[in-house]
Chains A and B, each alone.
Chain A
């Protein structure tokens, strides 16, 4: 019991979110009379949310650096529109269009990253402008009409399935991949534990890790079985898996990820530690642009058409996912897995509420409340644990971030005062 409390204490946020997701799944499973977890519907939830999941990963990085990107919805629409026009009107093959679209997303990201990182215009403003610019550009490219249908080759990427090794029966490949994935996860859990023990770091008891592993195996295999029972693994599902694993590794285990966190944690301290803060911010936005383009391709392919209104509100879904998943508005905190769980919370709620026939009006309102509740829970938790540093003002709204010559605060004459005292619980409504 003590061990569990210890474990929860350290990772309250992460476990809290996973538990919240589980509760929501169970709730809607009951409310929908068992429809939610039907194999067909599970596959649907993944495919319906694939683009938001992709965006949430990029958004998490952006938010970790203390910025925000309001333009992703418009960029999704714009890259999708350009891709559709290139595929249909121009008639380029899909293997040319995909890299072109991704490169264009990268360029858009570079454009915004330039203003944010090097000219020091707040990201909020640059990407608000981007939201308008690229929505307008979408309308121009499409001339107000929808472009479609699209060649099968693109649709296959967005809504196809990985073919199985055997022609019929449940998908063996899916089950095999599931088993391999579960084994890998269990192996990682034990390796982390062994390593912590070896170096005298706090580690959960063996029984706890065993329980964790058992739960992992059960969940992963049930999930794999559900997919196998329908059509197998969707191509986007595989793509997502690669993105999640890749970005988790990048953020957790590489010096690049460490620097991204450092920039968000304290830009000045990071710069004085040799981190190229401007370059880091710039590339995080380039990355966001590329991922937006990827989401644009998936979305357009799934819809089988590019439409002027595509991607509206996607930025808000992605931002909400990141915050529900534990990112901090003042930067420096957040994980890829958190963003994924956050996006799934939103996705499962959308899906479940649609099944039980709740109108969009109610859906919006309820999602808003969930976002607020998740962040409030987070802040409550930190306060209770004696944290609670950091201003309530999100970093991307503060104007003082990195001025051109960045005279870090300590000079001879009037050094800038600390912007806020550091007392936990002194003022209500503070998160970090």
Chain B
């Protein structure tokens, strides 16, 4: 008999119109790293929210056994008392407060009467930061930290509550490779200290590397639990369990015919929006042909998003110089309206903040960027809009209860499909994709690749920004590399490999 720290038994949870969890079973052994995998919308986050009391007792059915005793949590505080801490897909730190204040938020070190004991706070914070391997001044505001470091602060916060079971919901999806590696190493270290972790991730590589057990959910049900102890699990087996079929190729084959140069950016220079004189894009130039998928590689901070957003109607930073050409003629892109009129579409990296209006339904989100297509003389034709939205939703294979469902209720992958669909609906000639598969499951990734390929085959040009080199290598006809705001070189797709790209991506100074 295994020593189970957690046993979730027959958990079911319904939202209006959706059965998110259907009698799910999850057994977590003490001291292991347990990975939870599954397609977007499979119910992973929901299951963890049930466990941590975000969805309190009474809002689900089934039993939660912690250390063999049935527990029913009434809220996050309640589950924290039982030693369970969750770090959400969206981080929950207060940016204006300091690192130490965030760590002890709601759990302050006091001298009684609610007076904060700053000395003890700072000392305890320093200890915790050392434990997570973060060398940071505890009085620094969280706003000044990178995402990777914030993640560590979250973990320190969890440790301060004497956590025994740590839940991480897609902790690495926004991290660089090194940051991810550090985080995973930390998880292993915590494991050595006896802390059990549940890790949700779409990155197969990291899961097979650190997890002791993998549980796969599909459509709100437990499909399979695999033990990696006896010699590792093949990635293909996990994929099969997740998607329900074999995926022969991770990348669909190229079908597009590459034509003449369609879009060109020349002499593009942009300054930081608030720090005058700080170059974020320096004299960048690139060309994209008809039907071509061009990659843009770079480390965090290389200026890829800045380049893309400033080209997209100067929506980032302070424009200094540069011209966008379309078919050899200068194109006016002074604001987003111009850019859209010029056939450019930009799918942002941060879909919740920048891509979607979460309160609005799928239909309204899909048509927002091209309202002209469903209206006449500014009057929207509701029938045309409903039909167009339903069609787009179907062709993007968005999993929802209908086009009237608010996008805030969709799972991450389906939200991404809606953002993509919105720009497909605008019928772009140049589609800029910024980390389009971040936080997306393997099956949905493949579908997104198919959509991009289809668009290219229809003659559009695609600029693909990605931090995942295999994705760039698998999808692109040509890859530019950026470093510190400059374009440091380009490689034709067939000749590129991770090493040569990495060299260009880290080539500072010219």
Chain A residues, Cβ within 8 Å of B178: none
Q: At the interface, yes or no: B273 with Cβ under 8 Å from chain A?
A: yes
Which parts of A195-220 form the interface with B (CB within 8 Å)?
195, 198-202
Q: Could you say which of B16, B92, B143, B355 contacts A414, with CB atoms under 8 Å apart? A: B143
Beta-carbon contact of B422 and A411 below 8 Å: no
B contacts with A, residue count (CB < 8 A): 79
Chain A residues, Cβ within 8 Å of B317: 405, 407
Beta-carbon contact of B150 and A265 below 8 Å: no
| Chain A residue, CB-CB nearest to B146 | A414
Most chain B Cβ neighbours within 10 Å, of A200, A271, A272, A422: A272
Residues 266-278 of A, flagged 1 when their CB comes within 8 A of B and 0 if not, give 1011111111100
Chain B residues, Cβ within 8 Å of A432: 359
Q: At the interface, yes or no: B93 with Cβ under 8 Å from chain A?
A: yes
Given contacts A202-B402, A272-B348, A417-B150, contact A405 B274 (CB under 8 A): yes
Q: At the interface, yes or no: A416 with Cβ under 8 Å from chain B?
A: yes
- Among the 9-residue stretches B25-33, B285-293, B334-342, the one with 4 or more Cβ atoms under 8 Å from chain A is B334-342
Chain A residues, Cβ within 8 Å of B386: 199, 201
Given contacts A276-B335, A390-B359, A417-B95, contact A198 B383 (CB under 8 A): yes
- Among the 9-residue stretches A36-44, A72-80, A223-231, A251-259, the one with 4 or more Cβ atoms under 8 Å from chain B is A251-259
Given contacts A405-B317, A418-B91, A423-B54, contact A271 B353 (CB under 8 A): no
Chain B residues, Cβ within 8 Å of A332: 357, 359-360
Chain B residues, Cβ within 8 Å of A270: 357, 368
Chain B residues, Cβ within 8 Å of A405: 273-274, 317-318
A contacts with B, residue count (CB < 8 A): 59
Chain B residues, Cβ within 8 Å of A261: 360, 364
Number of CB contacts from chain A to chain B under 8 A: 185
Residues 403-446 of B, flagged 1 when their CB comes within 8 A of A and 0 if not, give 01010110000000000001000000000001000000000000
Which parts of A406-424 form the interface with B (CB within 8 Å)?
406-424
Residues 380-401 of B, flagged 1 when their CB comes within 8 A of A and 0 if not, give 1011001100100000000000
Beta-carbon contact of A266 and B353 below 8 Å: yes
Q: At the interface, yes or no: B268 with Cβ under 8 Å from chain A?
A: no
Which parts of B339-389 form the interface with A (CB within 8 Å)?
339-340, 346, 348-350, 352-360, 364, 368-369, 371-372, 375, 378-380, 382-383, 386-387
Given contacts A265-B360, A333-B359, contact A412 B302 (CB under 8 A): yes
Beta-carbon contact of A418 and B302 below 8 Å: no
Q: A267 → chain B, closest Cβ, in Å? A: 10
Q: At the interface, yes or no: B489 with Cβ under 8 Å from chain A?
A: no
Beta-carbon contact of B318 and A425 below 8 Å: no
Which parts of A380-430 form the interface with B (CB within 8 Å)?
385-387, 389-390, 403-426
A404 to B356, CA, bound (A): 21
Chain A residues, Cβ within 8 Å of B76: 426
Q: At the interface, yes or no: B192 with Cβ under 8 Å from chain A?
A: no
Beta-carbon contact of A199 and B54 below 8 Å: no
A332 to B350, CA, bound (A): 20
Q: At the interface, yes or no: B12 with Cβ under 8 Å from chain A?
A: no
Given contacts A272-B348, A274-B337, A332-B360, contact A258 B15 (CB under 8 A): no
Q: A268 → chain B, closest Cβ, in Å? A: 5
Beta-carbon contact of A410 and B92 below 8 Å: no
Q: At the interface, yes or no: A9 with Cβ under 8 Å from chain B?
A: yes
Which parts of B274-326 form the interface with A (CB within 8 Å)?
274, 280, 300-306, 309, 312-313, 315-318
Chain B residues, Cβ within 8 Å of A265: 357-360
Q: Could you say which of B49, B274, B371, B382 contacts A423, with CB atoms under 8 Å apart? A: B49
A279 to B309, CA, bound (A): 20
Q: Could you say which of A199, A269, A407 contacts B356, with CB atoms under 8 Å apart? A: A269
Q: At the interface, yes or no: B147 with Cβ under 8 Å from chain A?
A: yes
A195 to B337, CA, bound (A): 32
Q: Could you say which of B15, B93, B300 contacts A386, with CB atoms under 8 Å apart? A: B15
| Chain A residue, CB-CB nearest to B314 | A405
Q: Could you say which of A201, A202, A410, A422 contacts B354, with CB atoms under 8 Å apart? A: A410
Q: At the interface, yes or no: A290 with Cβ under 8 Å from chain B?
A: no
Beta-carbon contact of B353 and A386 below 8 Å: no
Which parts of A256-299 form the interface with B (CB within 8 Å)?
256, 258-259, 261-262, 265-266, 268-276
A272 to B88, CA, bound (A): 26
A333 to B361, CA, bound (A): 12
| Chain A residue, CB-CB nearest to B485 | A412
Most chain B Cβ neighbours within 10 Å, of A269, A390, A424: A269
Q: Could you say which of A200, A255, A407, A421 contacts B380, with CB atoms under 8 Å apart? A: A255
Q: B15 → chain A, closest Cβ, in Å? A: 5
Most chain B Cβ neighbours within 10 Å, of A9, A390, A408: A408
Beta-carbon contact of A255 and B305 below 8 Å: no
Beta-carbon contact of A410 and B434 below 8 Å: yes
Q: At the interface, yes or no: B234 with Cβ under 8 Å from chain A?
A: no
Beta-carbon contact of A256 and B378 below 8 Å: yes
Q: Could you say which of B54, B93, B301 contacts A412, with CB atoms under 8 Å apart? A: B301
Q: B308 → chain A, closest Cβ, in Å? A: 10
A423 to B238, CA, bound (A): 29
Chain B residues, Cβ within 8 Å of A275: 336, 368
Q: A265 → chain B, closest Cβ, in Å? A: 4
Beta-carbon contact of B404 and A202 below 8 Å: yes
Q: At the interface, yes or no: B247 with Cβ under 8 Å from chain A?
A: no
Chain B residues, Cβ within 8 Å of A415: 147, 174, 350
18 pairs from A and B in contact (CB 8 Å cutoff):
A200-B390, A201-B386, A201-B402, A254-B378, A256-B378, A259-B371, A262-B357, A262-B360, A269-B353, A272-B315, A273-B422, A274-B340, A403-B274, A405-B273, A408-B315, A411-B305, A414-B147, A418-B353
A-contacting residues of B (Cβ < 8 Å)? 15-16, 49, 54-56, 59, 75-76, 88, 90-93, 95, 142-147, 150, 174, 273-274, 280, 300-306, 309, 312-313, 315-318, 335-337, 339-340, 346, 348-350, 352-360, 364, 368-369, 371-372, 375, 378-380, 382-383, 386-387, 390, 402, 404, 406, 408-409, 422, 434
4 further interface pairs, Cβ-Cβ under 8 Å (given A385-B16, A418-B91, A423-B49): A255-B372, A272-B355, A408-B354, A411-B316
Q: For the complex of A and B, list the 9 residue pairs with the smallest distance between their C-beta atoms, beginning with the closest.
A: A405-B273, A265-B357, A410-B350, A412-B301, A418-B90, A273-B369, A410-B349, A255-B371, A407-B273
